[in-house]
Every structure is written in structure tokens, then in C-alpha cells.
Amino acid sequence: MTPWLTILGIVPLVGAVAVGATPRRSPLLAKQIALVTSLVVLLLTLAMCVDFEPKGDRFQFVQKHDWISSFGVQYAVGADGIALVLIALVAVLVPVVILASWYDADPEAESSAGTDGPPVPERKRSVKTFFALLLVLETMMIGVFAATDVFLFYVFFEAMLIPMYFLIGSYGGPKRSYAAVKFLLYSLFGGLLMLAAVIGLYVASARQGLGTFEFDKLTQMEFSHSTQVLLFLGFFIAFAIKAPLFPFHTWLPDAGAEAPIGGAVLLVGVLDKVGTFGFLRYCLPLFPWAARELAPLVITLCVIGILYGALLAMGQKDLKRLVSYTSVAHFGFIGLGCFAFTTQAQTGAVLYMVNHGLSTGALFLVVGFLVVRGRSRLVGDYSGIGQVAPVLSGVFLVAGLSSLALPGLSTFVSEFLVLVGTYQRYQVAAILATVGIIFAALYILLMYQRTMQGTLSAAHEKMRDLRLREVLAVGPLLALMIVFGFYPKPLTDIITPAVTHTMEDLGVQDPAPSQLNTATTEKR
């Protein structure tokens, strides 16, 4: 069997080394190597997806090698349907980000390329370091989704922080240092809680004679209820911070606003998914009793996050902070689907992870293109941009409509599945969450109206429309949003079997039809 996951992890690292070895005076060569490397990873990922059998074994492309034998730690990787679609999301977004971030580390080159206005004064920054960090981050993101050893997962979970910290702190906005430190401190706090839970998990397994971190073996073990609750909370809080789920979300608006656009796309589009992925991969299968008992509390937090995030988004004046707050609401929907304990809801949650990465990634990109041209992140500084930049305006509209889950675009399918699946167990929560859709329409359409429509200001009369490079960057995301909006079956066929296994580990079945529905069916 081809070791796809190991190959996918190694290729970006090799590319990062090659980028780092380029002469400092050849930034274009560093960019070209990074882009080619990311495209190779994308092609390899597509080949892996073709090789994946949805009705085959739960984990495929499995590799296991002893790492720290005395503690039962292994280099163990494998992909189920949930991990596969998220790895594919990584492979799609990284080349998009590299292409969109072509001038993020060298604003002078950006100005010479024809961007409106003088270059923003910046301290000299290394172009090759920026693109090498993106490739290292790609390896870490693939590794965290592929790991089937809990300790290995923890290593990748923490290692992701390093390249993202430097991307924000070295290449971000005016408050980059504050945002980077806040991101790091929140993440380290969650990581410490997870480390304690990982150690506790090993100790608890050792008492049963195993002493292992292997996922398959841990799911077969039974822990006491008190142990489950403590370990569940350790993992859950770490994942809730990473997601971020209300009330652990406060680092995201700062990090999303100050990160370079490419970094913000990967931060919100992929890194945050590690939290919701962790809910499904670890919290539910390893601690089923605790998950079932604490689910109503988590559902409550998710509903609050949906409404709270949407309301705060409507009040934002900063474009990047507005998009960041929309993600707080979206992650409320994803968390809702994870803990509703129905096949429809969990399938919708995983699908939402993918579609959110596409839609919010596109929204962040187009906001970044607008900010680069207008030299401002404030909504009030723009008006009537659609008159001089119709392509940018059109892309903005499609990305925004996908974010508010318009039928025909991919996010609608996932949001619909989450709400229908949630309603089967938590009717009140599903109804309240539906209100968030109305709020989403308000904050997206108001943002679009204020920036793209109205009277064109004199300062933006000569604003340029999207260039070919920018269209090539955002175009694939728009195409995927439309394709999966009308035909999500390729994704759901991969996701559903993995969700079924998760439900079995959890010891929960889909609710039976109500007696009223049964009687009505029989009458018909």
C-alpha cells in the first residue's frame, strides 16, 4: 500500500528546505518553488482520494512504527473519511494562499506590480521565510488530521502554533505582536490542559494493563464515569479554544484581523477545524458517557455562540474582524452538529468544516484584495466599489452569499443537514440556531451594500479590478462552492461511513421516527 500520508507530510518539508536554500536576492524563485510544491501536494492528495475506498476499512493508508516504545508511543497515521476531506481542504487552500500572498512579504514589489497607492512602510522581511513557514504549516496540518496515535496528535497539535505564530507576529498588521502573543497564550493554555488529559489517558489505560496511546485500542477500553468527565473536559476545553467555541473565542478576532491574509485563510479555514475535528475524533469516541452527559451544556454554548457571534459581526467596523466574528457563529453550527448525536447532524458538521474553509477562505481573500487597494480595513472608508471593480464586487457577493448559506452554494447543504439533524434531538436549540441564519443575511448583505454599492468616493475612482493572479487564486474556491452546492454526494459518500463509526463508538443511534409520524405514514 502506498504510504500516502507520510509522503504528503514529507513533500512540503522538502519544499520548505528548498525555499530556505534559495538566495535572499531571488524572492521570485522562492515563491515559485513554494507554489510548485503545494501543487504537487494537491496532485498527490487527489491521487490518494481516488485510492480511498469509502466502503472499505475505517482507517486506510495506515502506517505504524514504534517511536517511544517504553511509553507505547507510535508513529501511527491513517485516514478515515473525516480526516480525508480535511486533508483535501488543506491541499486545496495552500496553493490558493501562496498565489494570493504573492506580495504579502514584500509590499514594494506589490506596488511596482501595479497596486494602487504607495507601498505601506514596513520593516524589511524575509520573503523566503514567509513561504517556507506556509509549507511547514502545511505539513503540520496534514499530520494533525492523519495521526491515529493520541500522543502524535498532540505533538502536531502544538507544533502548528510555531509557524502560525511567526506568520502573524512577523508579517501581520499594526497590532501583530499583541495578536500573535494572545493567540499563542490561549493555544498554549489549551495545549497544557490537553497534555494533562493525554497523560491521564495513558495512566488510565496502564491501569488496565495496556499503557497505550493508540486510538483503536483506547476506544475499546472502559473508563469510570469520573475519569471520563475529567479527561473529556481536558480535551474539550483545548479543542474549544482551538475551534474557537464560545466563550473561548476572544483570541480569534485579533488574530484574524492582524494576520496576513494568507495566514488568516489558513487560520480560520483549517487550523480552527482541528478543534471541531477533535470533538469527533477524540472527545466522543474515547469518552462516550461523558459526551452524552455533557452534550446539553455544549449545545447551549453552541447556540449562544451562533447568536452572539452574529450580533457582534453586525457591529464591526473593521472588515477583517467582521469576517472573523462570522466564523465564531459558523463554528457554533459545527459544534451543534457534532454534539447533536445524529448521523445527519454529524455529516453536516464535517461537510460544514469543508465548506466553511472554502467560503470564509474566499471571503477573507476578497477582503484582503480590497484592503490592499484601499489601504484601509474600515467598512466606512469604502463605497460604490462595484462601479470601478465589478469582478471584485461579484466575487465578494458570491463569497458572501455562500457564507450566509444561500441555496445553490455549498454551505447551504451543510447548514441544512446540521439543523435537520439537530432538530431530531434538540428542537429548541435548532429553532434558536435558525435565527442565526437571519443575522447572517444581515451582516453579510449590509457589509456588501456599504462597500460595493452607493456613491463612489473620489479616493477610489482609479481603483483597479482583480488581476489575473487574484482571479486564479480565488476562482477555484468559487467553483468548488458552486459544484458542492449542487452535488455534494462525492463528499457525503466519504464522510457518512466515518460518521457511522463515530456514532457506534459513542453508543448512540439515530432517533426513531415519532409515533405520530409513524401513524401518519401508515395512514397514507
**Comparing C-alpha atoms, which of 265, 294, 268, 320 is closest to residue 95?**
265
518 phi and psi angles, rounded to 5 deg: -65, -45
Q: Contact at 8 Å (CB) between 277 and 266?
A: no
Phi and psi of 454, rounded to 5°? Answer: 95, -165
pLDDT at 70: 79
For 461, the grid coordinates are 475612482
User: Cβ(499)–Cβ(426) under 8 Å?
Assistant: no
pLDDT of residue 112: 44
Question: How many whole angstroms separate alpha carbon 285 and alpha carbon 506?
Answer: 5
Q: What is the pLDDT along the chain (524 residues), one digit of tens a residue?
A: 788 899 999 999 999 999 988 888 888 898 999 999 999 999 999 999 999 998 888 899 999 988 888 788 889 999 999 999 999 999 999 999 999 888 877 655 544 444 444 334 344 578 888 999 999 999 999 999 999 999 999 999 999 989 999 998 888 888 888 888 988 888 889 889 999 999 998 888 888 878 788 888 888 888 888 889 999 999 999 999 988 888 888 888 888 888 888 888 998 888 888 989 999 999 999 999 999 999 999 999 999 999 988 888 888 888 888 888 888 888 899 999 999 999 999 999 999 999 999 998 899 899 988 888 888 888 888 888 888 889 999 999 999 898 888 888 888 999 999 999 999 888 899 999 988 888 888 888 888 888 888 888 888 888 888 889 889 999 999 999 999 999 999 999 999 999 999 998 888 888 876 543 543 344 43
Cα–Cα distance between 269 and 253 in angstroms, integer? 14
Contact 352, 419 (CB under 8 A): no
CB contact set of 94 (below 8 Å; sequence gap of 6+): 12, 38, 41, 42, 134, 135, 138, 266
Sign of CA dihedral 419, 422, 423, 428: negative
